[in-house]
Amino acid sequence: MMKNRTYLAKIAGCIIFILCLIAILSSFGFPFTPYAFDQTSEHILEAPSAQHLFGTDELGRDLLTRIIYGSQLSISIGFLTALIASIVGITYGAIAGFAGDRIDTFMMRGIDLFYALPDLLIMILVGIIIGRGTLGILLALGLVSWMGTARLVRAQFLTLKNEEFIEAARACGASSWTIITRHLLPNALSPVIVSLTFIIPSAILAESTLSFIGLGLSPPACSWGTLASEGWRALRTEPHLILWPSLFIFMVVLSFNLLGDTLADTMDPKTRV
Amino acid sequence: MLKNFCKSTPFLLIGLVLVMTNLANKQTPRFEANTLRINLGCEPPSLDWAKATDAASFDVVSNIMIGLTSYANDLSCRPACAESWQILDHGKHYIFHLRPNIRWSDGKPLTAYDFQYAWRRLLDPKTAAPYAFFLYDIENAFAYNQGKLKDANELGIRAINESTFEVRLSRPIAYFLYLTAFCPTYPQRQDIIERYSNNWTDPGHLVCNGPFILTKWQHEYKIELTANPSYYAAKPSLKTIKMFMIPEQSTAFALYENNQLDFIDNRSLPTSEIDRYRKSGCNEYRDIALLRVSYLGFNIEKKPFDNVKVRRALSLAIDRERVCRILRHGEKPIANLIPPPLLGHSDFSTEQSYNPKLARNLLAQAGYPEGKNFPQTFLLYPHREDTRLLVEVMQDELKRNLNIHVDLLNQEWQVYLQTLRNNTPPIYRYAWGADYPDPDTFMNLFTSHNGNNNTHWSNKTYDQLVSLAGCEANPVKRATLYKQADYLLCKQDVPIIPVNTAAQNMLIKPWVHGIIPNALDLQFFSSVGIGD
């Protein structure tokens, strides 16, 4: 069982690595075909062929190129959201967990408050205030995804801070700052890393959802979500337009989830078989 | 939280698929006897024909009401409420003689006073009717509508007696009769409107004189019309018209394929399906070129579009034929505002309207060689699927031919209209459909005083040409005047770039007979029948 899992995780890791590599390389203009943004009215809505591996869209653009270009945004949004979530979440959770008592209660009620607000509503509001574009989406996603991490870190801190090695550190005269950064954080980090592998695909999916309902990017920028949204309208006649972007979304989300599962198994000694 | 949100997505999707397959499998009879089922696309904002401005409202009103005249299939005016009319004083004085046997749906006879009331109400500043400009050529009408004149009796509108209606114009406009065939000028009942005030258009309150009456209005769902037993002319063979309000194209299309709608048009047809039907040669498919022009407008007070060379350069940098190939609704390229076959239209020629080299030269002369230092600017468009495609092509054309980048920004329709009026963006996308089959309906738009002229462009010569052409009786001279004005607007000063004319695409089930589409896109169902 365990062996099987690691095997899957390795494949998942490879897929993620390759997709990230493509996204990074493409931002340096690497595998762009001659049909990058050239809209050619002679090639509208062509089915996949040797020349256009994934076919072309309704403006005659090569879909493979669009998907590679879209991966830059989709993947970077995934990672950046995870970054924002971890920075805010870890700081918030660490303060709450370490301080304890009233401050802790107060801060946790704050999180409850955030939890109570519907995600989509917040994202739409932020989108309206900041304006549509990468920054707006990023902030919106970051804003709704840090609470989980914060709770996790706080819980870890609450259990760890009464452990003997912390008491020892305090007896040696270590400052609070040293205790948090040198002793508590490194020990609390493994579940956080696992949770990050779940935040990334969620963010990719959420960005796709936002773009799908038309709250995402403005053209000609694209992500997998906008591509899927455009393709969906021609579902019956040009299925390739929806097939490829959704396949990529599916692949990356599944890979991250598999990776996350395996990481959780390996890092948590209690569930180790 | 994010996770919860994502977790629910698959379930939603599965639900959606289940609903769709359920819809697809359900067996229903092919049609309902004597019932026409169509899609309005949205809730009509107002059924008060003095206030309505949009296709959904007009589709309802033009089937429950008739005016002084009505359109024949070839869009000529034929007598309706008016049995005959006299045109006196070289076209400045009209006398309409009403038919004696026309009754409202509540049994009261239709009189000339109903017209007098309706027209005065349309012009009353308190009504704030968007279509008040329709009657501006009536004596004192403009002053009255602007609030400068208080007494409605001074208007050139008068009911001489129960069956005679008199109109005096301030200038002999050639297209006046057309105005009497369109919704805003239909008669209205003073007693009904005063009794129910804002609710007078509700079913049960609303009285009408057309082939159908309004019997049901379930908001955001459906409107039901039934045949009017007291209609003066031949009774319609339809008993009921069900007008659904389905905003999603693909949903409406699925309903059509599943025999739950009998007739659909662009509002319910995804572009890819139009292609498929056109190519398949299916006899359910029909299309017709519309008198509807879509154009890009500039705010000529905003830099860099205050420079006429920049505007001309942009106009020359757009390959309109390519735009039409991409839009795929049967659009035709156009470089002038008057669409064929109207009087004074100019034939489209690619050589004259698309010249990237000349465009680059003009841009260089304006101070932006190869698009360098071109200020950041944006194009505003309404949030609708077909317009998104159009503006994306525009963006690409300008990037490729002039090397300038234009940001695209969209707004919801009502917000968009407000922005156009209050704070016109540097470039905007708009389309204008003819209200009557005459070039004036287009040319009038860009005269200095027209409320729909958002370009801030004002040109005395143009105003004069349009005004002269409006009163010109000789068609040849009229055409020349309109051509001059059109040239001034689209080639010389270029406050707008006309891009394409639209077409209506329809699917009509084989058991529906007698739907005759027209270029004004008005849909009359009085002669429609259902049956094998």
3-state SS string over B396-450? HHHHHHHCCCEEEEEECHHHHHHHHHHCCCCEEEEEEECCCCCCHHHHHHHCCCC
How confident is the model over A194-200, as a mean pLDDT?
86
pLDDT beyond 90 at A66: no
B431: left (phi over 0), alpha (psi -120 to 50) or beta: beta
Question: Does A41 sit within 8 Å of B322, measured CB to CB?
Answer: yes
- What's the pLDDT band for A34 if we cut at 50, 70, 90? very low
Sequence-ordered list of residues with C-beta below 8 angstroms from that of A249, at least 6 positions apart, any chain: A74, A204, A205, A208, A224, A225, A228
Q: Where are the domains of chain B?
A: 10-47+210-284+509-530, 69-193, 288-503
pLDDT at A240 over 80: yes
In contact, B333 and B345? CB cutoff 8 Å: no
Average pLDDT over residues B221-246: 93
Shortest CA distance to A35 belongs to which of A22, A49, A21, A23? A49
Q: Is B392 part of the contact surface with chain A (CB cutoff 8 Å)?
A: yes
Sequence-distant (≥ 6) Cβ neighbours of residue B494 within 8 angstroms: B298, B308, B311, B312, B315
| Averaged pLDDT, B327-337 | 90
Q: How does pLDDT run across A101-140, given as a tens digit for each residue?
A: 899 999 999 999 888 888 888 888 887 787 767 788 888 8
Domain annotation for chain A: domains and CATH numbers: 2-24+66-267 (1.10.3720.10)
User: Is residue B250 within 8 angstroms of chain A, CB to CB?
Assistant: yes
Query: Which residues of A are less than 8 Å from B378 in CB distance?
Result: none
Average pLDDT over residues B451-457: 86
The answer to whether the CB atoms of B407 and A218 lie below 8 A apart is: yes
Instruction: Choose the closest CB to A198 out of B3, B4, B391.
Output: B3
Q: Is the pLDDT of residue A39 over 60?
A: no
How far apart are the C-alpha atoms of B31 and B245, rounded to whole Å? 19
Highest average pLDDT, of B1-5, B258-262, B409-413, comes from: B258-262
| Strand stretches in B249-317, DSSP E | 263-264, 285-298
Into which CATH architecture does domain B10-47+210-284+509-530 fall?
Answer: 3-Layer(aba) Sandwich (3.40)
pLDDT in the model for residue A195:
86
Q: What's the pLDDT at B3?
A: 47
Asked if residue A273 has pLDDT above 50, the reply is: no
Q: Which CATH architecture does the domain made up of B69-193 adopt?
A: Alpha-Beta Complex (3.90)
State the average pLDDT over residues A225-245: 82
Task: Read off the tokens for A117.
Answer: 């607000």
CA distance A241 to A55: 8
Note the CATH number of domain B288-503: 3.10.105.10
Stretch B306-333: mean pLDDT, rounded? 91
Q: Which residue of A has its CA nearest to B395?
A: A220
CB atoms A120 and B1 under 8 Å: no
pLDDT at residue number B428: 94
Across the interface, do A60 and B410 touch by the CB < 8 Å criterion? no
- With contacts defined as CB-CB under 8 Å, which chain A residues touch B407? 218
Which helix (H) or strand (E) is B226 found in, with range?
strand B222-227
pLDDT beyond 80 at B274:
yes
Instruction: From B490, B420, B409, B505, select the one nearest B454 (Cα to Cα).
Output: B420
Q: Is the ipTM of this complex over 0.85?
A: no
Which chain B residue is nearest to residue A43, measuring alpha carbons?
B326
Tokens linked to B33: 């006897």
Searching chain B, which residue's CA lies closest to the CA of residue A250? B10
| Tokens linked to B143 | 């002053």
Q: Is the pLDDT of residue A148 over 50?
A: yes
Q: Has residue B19 got a pLDDT over 80?
A: no
Q: Do the chains contact at B271 and A234, CB–CB below 8 Å? A: yes
| Side-chain-facing half-sphere of A2: CA atoms under 13 Å | 7
Looking up tokens 């045109």, which residue turns up?
B87
pLDDT of residue B52: 87
Which range is least confidently modeled, A41-50, A158-167, B49-58, B261-270?
Answer: A41-50
Joined tokens for residue B446:
């860009």
User: Is B385's pLDDT higher than 90?
Assistant: no
Confidence of residue B155 (pLDDT cuts 50, 70, 90): very high
Give residue A32's pLDDT: 54
Burial A189-199 (b: 16+ CB within 10 A, else e): ebbbebbbbbb
Query: DSSP 3-state assignment of A49?
Result: coil
- Chain B residues inside the 8 Å CB shell of A115: 1
